[in-house]
Amino acid sequence: MPSIELPFGSVFYREKGEGAALVMIMGTGADHTSWARQVPVLSRAFRVLTPDNRGSGRSVPAPPPDATTEDFARETLALLDHLAIERFHLVGFSFGSAVASAVAVAAPARVIALSLHAGWAGPNPATTPALERSLARVREEGVVAFLVAACERNFSPTFRESDPLVWQSFLKNVANSVTRPSLEGVLAQAHAGLRHDVRAKLPSLAMPVLVTTGEHDPVVPPAVAEDLASRIPGARFHVFRGPRAWHAIPLEMADEFNALVLEFHGSAAAN
C-alpha cells in the first residue's frame, strides 16, 4: 500500500487485483478502509485502486480551505498519471461521487464507465443543509464528534439497533482510528462538497453512467440522485430499497452494491 509524493502532497492508496483499473473514491472524512467490503469482491474482476483523499487517512497535508471538487479531481488524475493509467473505470461514494463526477467532466475520454453512489449535481435542499450541519459540528466539537454524528446519521436504525454492543464498538473504532481525518481535511472536503456544482457540464458526458442511492438516504434522497441522473444522457438510475437502504449502502448492503457495480462496470468493460 504505497504512498506517492506529488507536487501538492502525499497520496496514499491501496491496490489489489488485475485487469482494467477501477478507481474508487470515498466520502467526507473517510479513507480507503471504508471500501473493505468491496475490494475483496471487485478485485476478482478489476485492478482496484482506493486512494485516500487528502486530509483523510494517510494522504497529507490537507488541502487549503478553498479547495474545490475540481482540485480533488486534479489530484486523482495526477495519481493516475503517475501510475501510467490512461483509461479507467470510476466509482464515487458521497463526497467521492462529487469528486468522481468532476474527474469525468475534466477527463471524459479517460473514463470507461462512471458510477456515482449517493451523489449530487449541485446545491440542493437535502445535501446542502447536511453538509452545513457537518461543518458546524466539526468546527464546534471537533473531528471525533463529527465522525460519530455522521455514523449515527448515515447508518440505518436497523443496523444501529440490531446489536447495540457491536454498534458501540464500531463507533469506538471510528473515533479512535489512527488514520481518522484531520480537522483541516474535514473542513476542506465539506466546503468543497458545498461548492460542488457540475450541473451545466453533466450533459456533455457520453460514457456509460450509473447513479444510485438508498430509498431512506437522509443526505442524498432519491429525488436528489434522480436529478443528477436526469442531467446525464442515457444514465441508469437505481434506488436500493429495504430497511438498510440509508446513506452507508456500501457497508450496509454490500452484497447488493457489489453485484450492481460488477454488473455495470463489467458490461461496460465488455463493450
Share of the chain above pLDDT 90, in %: 97
Write down the pLDDT at residue 178.
87
Q: Over the stretch 160-207, which tens digit does the pLDDT of each residue have?
A: 999 999 999 999 999 999 889 999 999 999 999 999 999 999 999 999
Ramachandran region, residue 94 (left: φ > 0; alpha: ψ -120 to 50; beta: rest): left
Q: Is 1 a residue whose pLDDT tops 90?
A: no
- In whole angstroms, give the CA distance from residue 184 to residue 80: 25
> Rounded to an integer, what is the distance from CA 155 to the centroid of its chain?
15
Q: Biggest alpha carbon distance in the chain? A: 50
| Chain mean pLDDT for the chain | 96
Tell me: the pLDDT tens digits for 27-80?
999 999 999 999 999 999 999 999 999 999 999 999 999 999 999 999 999 999
pLDDT digits (tens, 9 = 90+) for 244-270: 999 999 999 999 999 999 999 999 876
What single-letter DSSP state applies at residue 247?
Answer: S
Q: Structural domain of residue 13, as residue ranges?
A: 3-270
Cell numbers describing residue 195: 461548492
Phi-psi region of 74 (alpha: psi -120 to 50; beta: other; left: phi over 0): alpha
Rounded to two decimals, what is the model's pTM? 0.97
Domains contained in the chain, number? 1
Which CATH number do you get for residue 147?
Answer: 3.40.50.1820
Contacts of 10 (CB under 8 A, 6+ apart): 3, 4, 58, 59, 60
Let me know: does 105 contact 39? Beta carbons within 8 Å.
no
* Confidence at residue 35, expressed as pLDDT on a 0 to 100 scale: 98
